[in-house]
Amino acid sequence: MRADVVSKVIFEYATKIGSARETDASLRLNADMARDLVGADRCSIWLIDSKAQQLWTKVAHGVPEIRIPIGQGVVGACIAGKETIVVNDTSLDPRFLSSGDYAVRSLLAIPLCGADGKVIGALQALNKPGGFTQEDVDLLGLAAAYSASALETQMLREEAEAAKLIRKELEIAHDVQQRLFPQDPPPVPGIDYSAHCRPARSVGGDYFDFIPLDGGGLFFTIGDVSGKGVAAAVLMASIQASIRTQVLSGVSSLASLMETFNRAVYTFSMEDRYSTLFCGLLDASMRKLTYVNAGQVRPVLLRTNGKMEMLHQGGLPVGLLEEASYEQGEALLETGDIVLGFSDGISEATNERGDMWEEDDVHRLLRQNASLTAKDLVAKLIAEADAFAGDAEQADDLTVVALKAV
């Protein structure tokens, strides 16, 4: 699917899912989104009936409820082995169970895991023309996370008191959101990089991403969605997934990518939702950084000679206006140069007296700790922001991204 089509699907369903009041309605929307994301014909969400020792469909396009013995079929193998399974020719897979008049030629099954890692079901997509790919697996990971969260919430709703349920829902949402951030990203030759995001509440609207590219390059982002809480987190997850899809499809111009992305956010998000966003593309072999800053707190480039450059070229936050143009900036890095990006939760950290930490304080700290690794620099900056704030409540999400040419 084209990247713009994927973006449209994500934003259209994210808004609907975010406003769904009932679990069953949310799951139906998740199944619809999963089907449309990968261009499949049908999708189903399977659950485990431990008492009956069966698997059954909570949602299934085109057919009534289906029940099969636990462990049987491709979906049974997916749940039993806690593994994603792709079958692009069911006639060659002995696990496949044929039933009814509907002919299944290809399928993709992804396990649904609760916050504790236990498998609670599976998401299954059927019959994609040309077969399923690894990109489809990545895209459906978002739908699977949504579905698992909704299912676990429903189970808790039947068992827990209202106050306990709310706390658990936020814990689940926090867990889902944290899993959307890069987990142990692979090393990229010539680049030492690290990041950390800590929401002010259980979930937040700050985000970052690292996408290693073929040929040794690295695409990275840092952004901040307007608002806080679950609504901001849903848009944050959608933005992250959409950017990743577009980047993996190939980037010819960061400015053009941002213009396309801006229209998508404006069209499919709620009126009061927009996002500041910084996107950087680092060619490790040439040490060339290309970037666009869409209203994000200006990242800083610290040279080894002590010179500091603000990475400001870009344009308006994405989603603020339907049509917006962007300019991209460039910089050549030398060994030891550092790129540091951070959200306003860092630069505007406030203590109990109302005093505010400012960008100059961040820049001073960067100069003093330029010899640290990217990981240690991120930890140092967050620790110093916390020390300044003292006992004051964290008012905004804290996010830091650091890259160092080595």
Question: C-alpha angle with apex 256: 141 to 16, nearest 5 degrees?
Answer: 40
- Give pLDDT tens digits along the chain (406 positions): 556 666 677 777 766 766 666 777 878 888 898 898 889 999 999 999 999 999 999 999 999 999 999 999 999 999 999 999 999 999 999 999 887 788 999 999 999 988 888 898 999 999 999 999 988 998 888 778 877 877 777 666 666 555 565 566 556 655 655 666 777 778 888 899 999 988 776 566 788 899 888 877 899 999 888 766 666 667 777 777 788 888 877 778 899 989 988 888 887 776 677 888 999 999 877 789 999 999 999 999 999 999 999 999 999 998 888 899 999 999 999 999 999 999 888 878 888 888 888 888 889 999 999 999 999 999 999 999 888 888 887 767 889 999 999 9
Residue 52: count of CB within 10 angstroms of its CB: 11
Spatial distance between the Cα atoms of 295 and 137, rounded to a whole number of angstroms: 32
Overall pTM surpassing 0.75 (yes/no)? no
Sequence-ordered strand ranges (E) for 81-240: 85-87, 107-113, 119-126, 191-198, 206-212, 218-225
Say if CB 68 and CB 53 are below 8 A apart: no
Rounding to the nearest 10 degrees, give the CA dihedral for residues 26, 38, 83, 87: 130
Residue 85: count of CB within 10 angstroms of its CB: 20
Q: What CATH homologous superfamily does 3-173 map to?
A: GAF domain (3.30.450.40)
Q: Please report, for the chain, the start and end positions of each structural domain, with discontinuous segments joined by +.
A: 3-173, 185-405
Spatial distance between the Cα atoms of 235 and 32, rounded to a whole number of angstroms: 18
Secondary-structure class of domain 185-405 per CATH: alpha beta
